[in-house]
Amino acid sequence: MSQLFTPITLRDVTVRNRVWVAPMCQYSAVDGVPNDWHLVHLGSLARGGAGLVIAEASAVVPEGRISPEDTGLWNDEQQAAWARIVEFVHGQGATAGIQLAHAGRKASTVGLTGGRGAVADADGGWRPVGPSAEPFPGLREDPEPLDLAGIQRVVTAFGDAAERALAAGFDVLEVHAAHGYLLHEFLSPLSNHRDDEYGGSFDNRVRLVLEVVREVRSRVPAGVPVLVRLSATDWVEGGWSADETVRLSALLREEGVDLIDTSSGGNVPADIPLEPGYQVPFARRIRAEAGIPSGAVGLITEPKHAEEILTEGSADVVLLARELLRDPHWPLRAARELGETGDALWPAQYRRAAR
């Protein structure tokens, strides 16, 4: 059996293989409620043989959405809509996960319609929040720095959303602390200019992430895996660094995090050296130096490459994003290319094509 198709167990959850679906925003919700598009999108990925299907960044509060069309998990209607989707994902043999998120200063952004940029209040936008008043270039110019009470509300909201996720049937939770959204904004000196206990030193800048994880961990049973997505570097001098990521990953391990989903960038404009597997070295360092399982993501498109990442010990799982948009049945193709026999991954309705 290939490493890619070996099951992996985190706490009480066993995932059927190590091809995982990375969260991908669809910008297709109304008032944060997922709909038929999300059912078909996520359902097709589960049907296609992925092990863990992680639903898109879903805001823990309305103002935490990236765009007005983002999904959320702050009310009963959203919870019920997610439950329908989770049931279908489970019916295809896949494990269901969701990424809990707050967009911070990158909120109130145009989704699929009207190009890119900020959404004005008159068009349904809102004033975003962040660690400091500095905006993200090209987006809303008026982020409001969170006060201590606001920070506590964010922490509580992540815990509330975690409880709702479990009630909807999700098996795995991921805290989004990457790509320049709120938790990453607190981590990076390039976006965090605070002079209180949440700014300045490394210990202060990681405080919010640790508090959020502690809250989420305290709200869910011990058997539920909690993942964290981190941007391993800002790719800019003086920003959040790979060394700091390793330090934080070790702290997250102590807080009960089960795996680091390793990405990079997104907090400030940067020149990123894109090539297949360009983020794999960060996942390798986290796994080796922080002593916590890691996931590799980023321009991984070929089954043999994905298999090599696991066999060489660079990561424990591989997460795919755009490649699965191009080919939702990538896991089925990968299994065949890697010499996996049998048709257990194939839906019964499709097994005539497995031979």
Per-10-residue mean pLDDT of the chain, 355 residues long, equals 95 98 97 98 98 98 97 98 98 98 97 83 95 95 97 98 98 98 98 98 98 98 98 97 98 98 96 94 98 97 97 98 97 93 86 84
d(CA 262, CA 286): 8
47: its two tokens: 């049907």
pTM of structure: 0.96
pLDDT score, position 344: 84
Cβ–Cβ < 8 Å for 318, 302:
no
Q: Which residues are catalytic?
A: 181
Fold of the domain spanning 3-353: TIM Barrel (3.20.20)
β 172-177/226-231 pair status: parallel
Residue 81 C-beta-side C-alpha neighbours within 13 Å: 23
Select from 188, 190, 189, 181 the least CA-distant residue to 60.
181
The H or E element that residue 13 is part of is strand 13-15
